Amino acid sequence: MTFRERLRALPTFPRPGLPALDTDAAPPTPHELFVTWIDQAIDAGLLAPHAATLSTADAAGHVHARTLLLKDVTVDGWWFASQSTSPKGRDLAVNPHAALTFLWPELGRQVKVTGTAASAGPEAGRADFLARSDLSRATSLVDRQSEPLDSMEEYERAFAEALRIVTADPELAGVHWTAYVLAPTAVEFWQAPDDGPQTRLLYRAEADGWATGLLWP
Closest approach, Cβ 65 to ligand FMN, in A, equals 8
Q: Per CB under 6 A, does 191 bind ligand FMN?
A: no
Part of the chain binding ligand FMN (CB under 6 A), chosen from 6-14, 75-83, 115-123, 186-194:
75-83
Does position 88 interact with ligand FMN (CB under 6 A)? The reply is yes
Give the integer Cα–Cα distance in Å for 25 and 215.
Answer: 16
CA distance 52 to 156: 28
Site string for ligand FMN, 23-52 (x = CB under 6 A): -------------------------x--x-
Given 35, 42, 44, 69, the residue binding ligand FMN (CB under 6 A): 69
The answer to whether residue 135 forms part of the interface with ligand FMN (CB under 6 A) is no
148 contact partners, CB below 8 Å, separation of at least 6: none
Judged by CB under 6 A, the residue of 145, 185, 198, 212 near ligand FMN is: 145
Q: How many residues does the chain have?
A: 217
Burial category of 192 from C-beta neighbours within 10 Å (exposed 0-12, middle 13-18, buried 19 and up):
buried
Please tell me whether residue 136 binds ligand FMN under the rule CB under 6 A: no
Q: Is 67 in the site for ligand FMN (CB under 6 A)?
A: yes
Binding site for ligand FMN (CB under 6 A): 48, 51, 64, 66-69, 80-82, 86-88, 145-146
